[in-house]
Amino acid sequence: MTITIDKNSGFCFGVINAIKAAEQYLQQHKTLYCLGDIVHNNEEVNRLTGLGLKIITLKQFEQLKDTTVLIRAHGEPPATYQIAKENNITLIDATCQVVAQLQQKIKTEVDNNPDAQILIVGKTGHAEVEGLLGQTKHNGKVISSLHDLENIDYAKPAKLYAQTTQNSEKYNEIAETIRLNYKEKGNEFMVEMHNTICKRVSNRSKEIKDFAAQFDAVLFVSDKKSSNGLFLYEVCKKQNPNTFFISSVEQLQDIDIEKFNSIGICGATSTPVWLMEKIMLLI
């Protein structure tokens, strides 16, 4: 049996930077608070909590004073920074550079045009989306599916952006439908499309499809909390029906591995490489 780990799988650079920031702080201190899960993977969160990381909610964050809190790669809205200032909280800001640039882009648009209709293709309630909405003073509109298009004012100019981890197929479908809707109203030039999906994320679909085609079976390693993971798993499964979703090493016992001659192991941008390596060693 041959076993191969996908060299393109594993944490994106934004998550890597956030985890490095947490590890470096915890080398000098016993405890570090993190506002929300540092990454959507329970195995990695459990590893870091063992080092002293404490995951907190926004409500808990509001009660803290005179301490240090990590802002994860997803980013936060301006209100979070204001609370930190008022409560004397030192922030370790690990917002992904791609997310930070998008936040600034939206903020600049709103500052220059307060009446702008800002549309964000993304998952309602997602941490990154909440941070982006904060730049619009929460006047932006989240488009999570075609059903949300009825909330758009097609008589008013609009700027369309995407959550950086949105899958490209979904964004393209929504963007094209919005364009056609504006065109039907005779306002085709009133909408500007900005595909702000991270290139690392947008390339993963093709990469994972090519990888999955090479093996008798694929072990897709991810947490079910990861939207990116759930999407890429479906891409993988469609390409190779013998694809199995694995969140922890214990799930290996439910798969008849021995009947396959070649195994590929891959994962999401929220999947730690060490977990894929651990699974490979236990096969």
> Tens digit of pLDDT per residue, the chain (283 long)?
999 999 999 999 999 999 999 999 999 999 999 999 999 999 999 999 999 999 999 999 999 999 999 999 999 999 999 999 999 999 999 999 999 999 999 999 999 998 889 999 999 999 999 999 999 999 999 999 999 999 999 999 999 999 999 988 899 999 999 999 999 999 988 999 999 999 888 889 899 999 999 999 999 999 998 888 998 999 999 999 999 999 999 999 999 999 999 999 999 999 999 999 999 999 8
CA distance 223 to 220: 10
CB burial readout 82-119, b (16+ within 10 A) else e: ebbeeeebebbebbbebbeebbebbbebbeeeeebbbb
pTM: 0.91
Closest by Cα among 275, 283, 270, 235 to 14: 270
Distances (CA, A) of 82 to 48, 78, 91, 244: 27, 6, 11, 44
Count of beta carbons in the 10 Å neighbourhood of residue 186: 10
Structural domains of the chain ordered from first start: 2-8+202-282 (3.40.1010.20), 13-96 (3.40.50.11270), 98-197 (3.40.1010.20)
Q: Tell me, what's the pLDDT at 263?
A: 98
CA–CA separation, 12 and 14 (whole Å): 6
Give catalytic residue positions.
128
pLDDT in the model for residue 162: 97
Helix extents (H) in the chain: 13-26, 42-51, 58-63, 78-86, 97-112, 127-135, 168-184, 199-202, 204-212, 227-239, 273-282
